[in-house]
Chain A
Amino acid sequence: MFKARALIPFFLLLGTTVAVADRRAVLEHYSATAENAPSAERGRMLWNKPGIRGRDCTQCHGNDLRQAGRHRRTRKPIDPMAPSVNPKRFTDLRKVEKWFHRNCKWTWGRECTAQEKADILQWLNTL
Chain B
Amino acid sequence: MKEIQKTFTPLVIFLTLVMTIGLTLQACAYEDDDDDDEGFSRFLPARMDFRPADDPQYREECGACHLAYPPGMLPARSWQRIMSGLEDHFGENAELDAQTARHITEYLSANAADRSHTGRAPNIARSLGVDAPLRFTETRYFLRKHHEIPPRLVVNNPDVESFSRCEACHTGAERGDYDEHQVRIPGVGRWDD
B66 x A106 contact (CB < 8 A): no
Q: A74-B164, A74-B165, A75-B165 are in contact. Are A103 and B93 (CB under 8 A)?
A: yes
Q: Does B138 contact A (CB under 8 A)?
A: no
Within 8 A of A (CB), among B31-72: 64-67
List which B144-163 residues lie within 8 A (CB) of chain A.
161-162
B161 near A75 (CB under 8 angstroms)? Answer: yes
Residues of B near A76 (CB, < 8 A) are: 64-67
B193 surroundings in chain A (CB, below 8 A): none
Residue on B nearest A75 in the bound complex, by CB: B165
**Total A residues in contact with B, Cβ cutoff 8 Å:** 11
Which of B66, B67, B94, B161 meets A102, CB within 8 Å?
A: B94
How many Å lie between the Cα of A76 and that of B162 in the bound state?
A: 13
Contact among A71, A73, A75, A98 for B97, CB-based, below 8 A: A98
The answer to whether A101 has its CB under 8 Å from any CB of chain B is yes
Q: Is the CB of A102 within 8 A of B165?
A: no
Cβ contact within 8 Å between A106 and B164? no
B3 interfacial contact with A, CB 8 Å: no
* Chain A minimum-CB-distance residue to B91: A73
Contact B93 A74 (CB under 8 A): no
CB distance from A27 to the nearest CB of B (A): 21
CA A103 – CA B64 in complex, angstroms?
A: 14
User: Which chain A residues (14-63) contact chain B, with CB distance < 8 Å?
Assistant: none
* A residues near B162, Cβ cutoff 8 Å: 73
A contact residues vs B (CB 8 Å cutoff): 71, 73-76, 98, 101-103, 105-106
- For this complex, 7 residue pairs linking A to B, each with C-beta atoms less than 8 Å apart, are A73-B92, A74-B66, A74-B164, A76-B65, A76-B66, A98-B97, A102-B93
Q: List the interface of chain B (C-beta within 8 A of A).
A: 64-67, 87, 91-97, 161-162, 164-165
